[in-house]
Amino acid sequence: MAVAAVLVGLTACSSDAPQVPTPTDAATAPGTAAAPATAAAPAPSSTGAVVDVPVQDASLGARTAAPVLPPVRVQVPDLAVDMPVEPAGVAPAGDMELPDGADVAAWYEFGPAPAAPAGSTLIAAHVDSRTTGVGPFARLRDVAPGAAVVVTTADGTTHEYRVRDVVRVPKDTAPVGEWFDRAGAPRLVLVTCGGAFDREVGHYADNVVVTALPLGG
């Protein structure tokens, strides 16, 4: 997941996984509720992760495991984005794990799934990679409010969303607690890298973030 020079312009996001507010309980069931956070979400790591994972205290209260159906496909028809989605957890450095290539997206499996009644369903992908070049999520910066986003879960059910907004935020001020939120209205958050590429540190300066709301929600 490293990046480099002019090729770097095409590979840089490889080391830029979101730094997640990390669940302290590795056995947390995908899509299950978590205890309230006891600490503020950390700033993105020095690796320039696409998303830093906010820390959750797993010791408070019991969890009730509920079956979830993971997303397996994400589409943004207006941008011709059509990508497979894989479940992902947290890497040792605290970054959200992402596939090496930019042609596969990752769903944060310790957060809400598309059918969850509350919280943010987070799907992230590299903007580019050394092996696959520029990926479909590079087009997210051009999505318009009101555009459709379709997420398909493992049982073949499609979940339709409408884009509320697309923003570009500096990684050092990224509101990762909102992206990994388990409460509030259900929503879909798509994250990738954007902005200028910093050759000294080897990653992009910003994140491009699309927030979409369930159709009819």
State pTM to two decimals. Answer: 0.75
Query: Closest by alpha carbon to 110, among 126, 92, 122?
Result: 122
Mean pLDDT of the chain: 78
| List of residues 6+ apart from 14 with CB closer than 8 A | 1, 2, 3, 100, 126, 128, 129, 130
pLDDT band at 49 (very low <50, low <70, confident <90, very high): low
User: Any residues with CB less than 8 A from the CB of 134 and at least 6 apart, and which?
Assistant: 10, 102, 127, 128
Return the higher-pLDDT residue of 216 and 176: 176
Instruction: Please give the C-alpha separations between residue 192 and each of 66, 78, 204, in angstroms, as whole numbers.
Output: 29, 18, 10
Q: Distance between CA 49 and CA 185 in Å, rounded?
A: 26
pLDDT digit string, tens, across residues 74-120 = 999 999 999 999 999 999 888 899 999 999 999 999 999 999 999 99
**What's the pLDDT tens digit per position in 127-149?**
999 899 999 999 999 999 999 99
**Amino acid 67: pLDDT:** 72
Domains and CATH numbers, the chain: 8-31+40-58+69-214 (2.40.260.10)
The answer on pLDDT for 190 being more than 90 is yes
> What type of residue sits at position 3?
V
Please state whether beta strands 52-56 and 71-76 pair in parallel, antiparallel, or not at all (unpaired): unpaired
Cα 39-42-43 angle, rounded to 5 deg = 155
pLDDT of 66? 54
Q: How far apart are CA 113 and CA 86, in angstroms?
A: 12
